[in-house]
Chains A and B, each alone.
Chain A
Amino acid sequence: MTEPVLTVEDLSVRIAGLHILQGVSFTVAPTGVTVLLGRNGVGKTTTLRAVVGLTPRNGEVRGTVRMGAQSLLARPTYRLVRGGLGYVPEDRCVFAGLTVTENLRLAERRGTIPAYDKVYALFPELERRGRQRAGSLSGGQQQMLAIGRVLLNDNRLLLVDEPTKGLAPKVVTEVAEVLERVAESVPVLLVEQNLAVVRRLAKDAVVLAAGQVAWTGDAQELLLETALTKSLLGVGTGEPHHASGRAAPVGKDAH
C-alpha cells in the first residue's frame, strides 16, 4: 500500500474550553482528492487549521500530524508552508487592498522560481486583471486568486477549505475543473459542502460528526449510499447502495 502524504492521529483541539475535535484520525492518499465532509460546525475547518498550525492562541492542540515522516504540530505555519503544505482558506482571504499582481508576488519565495506560467494558464483572468485591487474582484475571481497564490510554488499537499462557498453555479464548475487539474499533480485535502463537486473530484472521504471521525472510505461509494449520506451530512443523494467504508458511532449524529 502507498504511504499516505498526511497522517492525522488522535487529533484533539480545544478552543476557549470547548472540545472542537476529539481524537480525530485519518490519512490522506498521495494522489487525488480526499474530501473532508460533515455538517456545519463539526470541525472541518478546525482540522485544516490545526494541520497548518493556525489554531488560535487560546486553543490547545494534541495528537500527531505528519506529512510523510515529518511531524507538523510543533512547527510554525510559515515553515510548514515553505515545506510544501499549501493552504487555501475558507472565504479566500485575498488581500483586498493589494492588487492581483501584489497578491501573487507576496506568495513568491526566495530561491525558487514562481510558476506564473502555470497560474496564468489556469487563470488567464488574473493576468488580465493584474493591476486591479483584489477587493474589487468577484467572488469567483478572488477564489481563483487564492488558489493561484498557492500554485505559484511546488506543494506536497494542498489544503483547500470550501472553495465553492457562495459562488455562482458556473463559477463552481470552473473552480471544480481547476481543482481537478491541480489534483493530477498534487494531492488535495478538500473541505467541501457541494456534493456535486465532491462527486466530481473526490476519491476518498472522511466524514466528521461532533468533532470525531464518523466514517472513512471511498467517496463515490458514500455518495451512492443515500441513507448513510443523509444521516451523516443531512442530505440524501444517489441510489441506494451499501458503502464499504468504516463507520464509527459518534454522538447523536451517527446512526
Chain B
Amino acid sequence: MDTVILLTLTGLGLAALYFLVASGLSLVFGLADVLNFAHGLFLGVGAYATWWAAGNLPGAGSDGFGFVLAVAFGVAAGTLVAVLVELVLIRPLYSRTIEQVLVTVGLSLAGVALLQATWGADARPFPRPEWTRGVTGILGAQVPNGGLLLVIAAVLVLGALLAFLQWTRYGLVIRAGVENREMVTALGIDVRKAFTLVFAIGGAAAALAGALGGVYFGTVSPGQGSSLLIFAFIVVVIGGMGSVVGSAYAAVAVGLLQQFVNYYGTSGLGDICVVGLLAVVLLLRPQGIAGKVATA
C-alpha cells in the first residue's frame, strides 16, 4: 500500500511537471495554431536562469526567500525569451505552418547548443532548498518534498490559469480565440496581443517547470527541456488542443501511467505505454479529452 501511495504521489509530481510545460503549449497551439517546438527552450532558460541567479544574483540563494527570488528571476527570464520569440520570430510567420516548425525546431536546437556552449554539456547540481531534499510521510509512504513542491505549484498554476481564463477580459478573448480566431478579429479585437500574452504565460509556466524540475531532479542540463517537451506534446494531444483542464487530466494520466508501469514492469516500458495511450486517444477521440475549447 505504501508503494502505491508513493508511486501515486511521485507520479503526480511528474504529472505536475508535464502540466506546467503542456498548459502553455496547449494554449499557444489552441489560440495561435503554432506548434512551438522551441517551448522546451523556455524551460531550459528558466532552469539555467534560476541556477545562475541562485549563485550570482544579489539577494538570491539556494534556500528560503533567496531561492524564491532565484525562481522569480528564472520565470522572468523564461517569460522574456518567450515574448521575444513570439514578437521577433513567430509573428511574421502566422499561418505559415511549415516555416513555423522549421524556425521553432531550429531555435530549439540552437538554444540547447547555446546553453551547452555557455555552461557545458554535463548536468550541473541544482541549488535546492534544504526542505526539498527531505521527505514527508503521507499515509505511511515517504514522499520526496521536491515532488510535492511541483504538485503544489502545478495546482496553483492551474487555479490561476482557470481564474484568468474565466474572469479576465484577455481570458475571454483567449477562450473565444481558441474557438474562432477570425471572428474575434471581426469583433474589433487585435488578437495578436492575445498571442503574445499566451506565449508569455506559456513561457512563464515552462520556466517555472524548469526551476522546479531542477529541484525535483537535483540537476540541470541543456537537453532537459527537449526531453520533457516530447511528453508535454503527448499531454497536449491527449488533453485536447487549447484546453487547460484537458492538459491537467492528461498530465495526470501520463504521469501515473509512466510511474506505475516503469515500477511494476520494466524500466522504460512506461514511456512506451504513454505512446500507446496517445495512439488509443487519437483513434477513439482525435480531438483529445476536451477538444479545441479553452475551457475554464
Contacts and interface: CB of A to CB of B under 8 A. Distances in A.
Interface string A89-118: 100010111100011011101000000000
B3 interface: no
Interface in B161-201: 172-173, 175-176, 179-180, 182-191
A78 B176 contact: no
A76 B183 contact: no
Given A78-B190, A106-B189, A93 B172 contact: no
Contacts of A77: 185-186
A149 B293 CA distance: 21
A69 interface: no
A81 B172 contact: no
Given A78-B191, A97-B293, A97-B295, A102 B186 contact: no
Interface in A106-155: 106-107, 109, 149, 153
Contact of B176 (A82, A106, A153): A106
B95 interface: yes
Contact of A54 (B95, B173, B179, B182): B182
Given A54-B182, A97-B293, A81 B188 contact: yes
Contact of B188 (A57, A78, A105): A78
A57 B187 CA distance: 19
A98 B294 CA distance: 10
Interface residues of A, number: 23
Contacts of B176: 95, 98, 102-103, 106
Contact of B172 (A57, A82, A106, A149): A106
A105 B294 CA distance: 17
Contacts of B191: 78
A170 to B, nearest CB: 27
B242 to A, nearest CB: 10
Contact of B180 (A76, A82, A95, A105): A95
Contacts of B172: 98, 102, 105-106
Contact of B183 (A93, A97, A153): A93
Interface residues of B, number: 20
Contact of B179 (A78, A82, A95, A153): A95
Interface string B276-296: 000000000000000001110
Nearest to B180: A93
A93 B293 CA distance: 15
A157 interface: no
A102 B294 CA distance: 14
Contacts of A78: 185-191
Nearest to B295: A97
A54 B187 CA distance: 12
Nearest to B183: A93
A52 interface: yes
Nearest to B193: A78
A98 B295 CA distance: 9
A97 B187 contact: no
Contacts of B188: 78, 81-82, 107, 109, 153
A95 B176 CA distance: 6
A72 B185 CA distance: 15
A215 interface: no
A106 B185 contact: no
A106 B173 CA distance: 7
B31 to A, nearest CB: 13
A26 interface: no
Contacts of B95: 57
B134 to A, nearest CB: 44
A95 B189 contact: no
A227 B294 CA distance: 52
Contacts of B184: 106
A151 B188 CA distance: 13
Contacts of A95: 175-176, 179-180, 183
A103 B187 CA distance: 10
Contacts of B187: 78, 81, 106-107, 149
Nearest to B173: A106
Interface string B81-103: 00000000000000100000000
Interface string A41-79: 000000000001010010000000000000000001110
Interface of A: 52, 54, 57, 76-78, 81-82, 87, 89, 93, 95-98, 102-103, 105-107, 109, 149, 153
16 contacts: A54-B185, A76-B185, A81-B188, A89-B186, A93-B186, A95-B176, A97-B295, A98-B172, A98-B179, A102-B172, A105-B172, A106-B172, A106-B173, A106-B184, A106-B187, A153-B188
The 3 closest A-B pairs by CB, nearest first: A81-B188, A97-B293, A77-B185
